[in-house]
Amino acid sequence: MSAIVIIPSRYQSSRFPGKPLAPIRNKPMIQHVYERAKSAVSVTEVIVATDSRLIFEAVNGFGGKAVMTSVAHQSGTDRLAEAAGILFAEGCKADIIVNVQGDEPMIYPDMVDSVVGILEDQKADIGTLVRKMENPEEIFDPNVVKAVFNDKGYALYFSRAAVPYHREMFSPEALKLKGLESIHTGDAGFFMFKHIGIYAYRTDALKKFTELPPSRLEQTEKLEQLRALENGMSIKVRETTHETIGVDTPGDLERVEKCLNTSL
């Protein structure tokens, strides 16, 4: 199977305008994402899909490839699909499109390889990654998306709520008695998994997904992947041990800088 990475990257952000061009160790953030994705062995090409001429020129400036897309897209997946259409019209061929978020400068190349490998299972339409939760503070954090899946790795549900709900561990009485710090998701074999927002789509699955209208659960939870599940598409997950830092605010940028400096 042939695979390419497309990195949706928009300039406007309510909390951090222009963040793809924010410098991290003398490089714009989008360059870190691009170079890390480019190091994956399973992909033949990496392209940035943007609505900003500034981002387009920055990517070309460091030797990358970018395509201009509409400013009207409501989601990164819609931008991904438009970019894929442009590339295919130019003669690019790929069985799999990998969506790497443009605000994930610490993405690991083997995470890209791992999510591509999920689609070796011909029954899976979409592949994505999950990680065991270790920090109890994340359990009730609505910004941390939880994934529930069956014993074959197929997703059953994604939620901002604490799912699956451990009745004894999460009861108000237990939390009042022991406190949040007493929660350990590995106790008695119980684990919760958080969703890592990297996706691999079969090309026909991406087209189908973006042609579907927003679904009821998607609109309720504000989670796009629920549209696929509600419409009978299969999402298969694979566990990763890597932790990444998505950049939503200037404070997140400082955390990334600190982690990169520590890893030297």
Q: What is the DSSP string of 116-153?
A: HHHTTSTT-SEEEEEEE---GGGTT-TTS-EEEE-TTS
Mean pLDDT of 10-31: 87
Tell me how far CA of residue 25 lies from CA of 30, 38, 60, in angstroms: 12, 19, 19
208-230 tens-digit pLDDT: 999 999 999 999 999 999 999 99
Q: Let me know: does 34 contact 109? Beta carbons within 8 Å.
A: no
Please give the pLDDT value at position 67. 96
State pTM to two decimals.
Answer: 0.92
Helix (H) or strand (E) holding 241: none
Mean pLDDT of 249-255: 82
Confidence of residue 264 (pLDDT cuts 50, 70, 90): very low
Enter the CATH code of domain 3-128+196-262.
Answer: 3.90.550.10
Q: Let me know: does 130 contact 195? Beta carbons within 8 Å.
A: yes
Report DSSP state, residue 154: B
Q: Is the pLDDT of residue 43 over 90?
A: yes
User: Rounded CA gap, 53 and 60, in Å?
Assistant: 11
User: Rounded CA gap, 167 and 177, in Å?
Assistant: 15
190-200 tens-digit pLDDT: 889 999 999 99
List the Cα angle 31/135/132 in 5-degree steps: 75
Between 99 and 256, whose confidence is greater? Answer: 99
